[in-house]
Amino acid sequence: MTQPPNLFHQDRQDRLLREREHDPYKIREKLPEPTVCPECRAVYHDGRWQWSAAPAGANQAPCPACHRVRDKCPAGFLTLTGEFFAAHKDEILNLVRNIEEREKAQHPLKRIMAVDEQDGGMLITFTDPQLARSAGQAVQHAYKGDLDFSYQEEEYLLRVYWSR
Q: List pLDDT tens digits, range 103-141.
A: 999 999 999 999 999 988 999 999 999 999 999 999 999
Condensed to tens digits (0 to 9), the pLDDT of residues 24-74 reads 788 778 888 899 999 999 999 999 999 999 889 999 999 999 999 999 999
The whole-number pLDDT of residue 3 equals 52
pLDDT confidence bin for 2, thresholds 50/70/90? low
Give the pTM.
Answer: 0.83
Number of domains in the chain: 1
- The CATH number assigned to the domain holding 110 equals 3.30.70
User: What is the domain extent for residue 110?
Assistant: 70-163
| No. of helices (H) and no. of strands (E), the chain | 4, 9
Hey, is 142 helix, strand or coil?
helix
How many CB atoms are located within 10 Å of the residue 14 CB?
5
Is 27 domain-assigned? no
Query: Does some domain include residue 140?
Result: yes
Show the CA angle centred on residue 153, arms to residues 148 and 159, nearest 5°.
Answer: 30
Is residue 19 assigned to a domain? no
